[in-house]
Amino acid sequence: MSKRIKIGAILATSLVITLSGTAFAADGAAIYTAKGCSACHGADAKTPIMPAYPKIAGQAKEYTSQQMKDIKSGARSNGQSATMKGIMAGVSEEEIATLSEYLAGLK
């Protein structure tokens, strides 16, 4: 493989990664809005309507993903998760991954 082709491949890969991150953020914002997350966690995901509700902006994607999966499956069933269980029933695994990535990117 020539040096020019290698450089082109590296640049193309970088462009795809950059565009994917942007698309991921846009999709995450759309899902966050569509699923009604802002009603409790705030439009910015860091101003919840009640002090007991978590600020989810900037949380590690692995953490938020696991919490959403646990609420959806029933593994997490404390008092605060009762409302979330109904919401999470309509959220797919792909949407959970996208939301988690989006929320992790918020500061």
Q: How confident is the model at residue 25 (pLDDT cuts 50, 70, 90)?
A: low
Residue-wise pLDDT tens digits, 32-89: 999 999 999 999 999 999 999 999 999 999 999 999 999 999 999 887 888 899 999 9
| CA dist list (Å): 39 to 73, 81, 97 | 22, 15, 20
How many other C-beta atoms lie within 10 A of the C-beta of residue 84? 20
Query: Is a pLDDT exceeding 80 seen at residue 14?
Result: no
What confidence category does residue 2 fall into, taking pLDDT thresholds of 50, 70 and 90? low
Token pair recorded at residue 50 = 């009640």
pTM to 2 decimals? 0.74
Q: What is the CATH number of domain 3-105?
A: 1.10.760.10
Scanning the structure block, which residue is given the tokens 């988690």?
Answer: 100
Q: Compute the distance between CA of residue 33 and CA of residue 12 in angstroms, rounded to an integer.
A: 32
The pLDDT value given to residue 82:
87
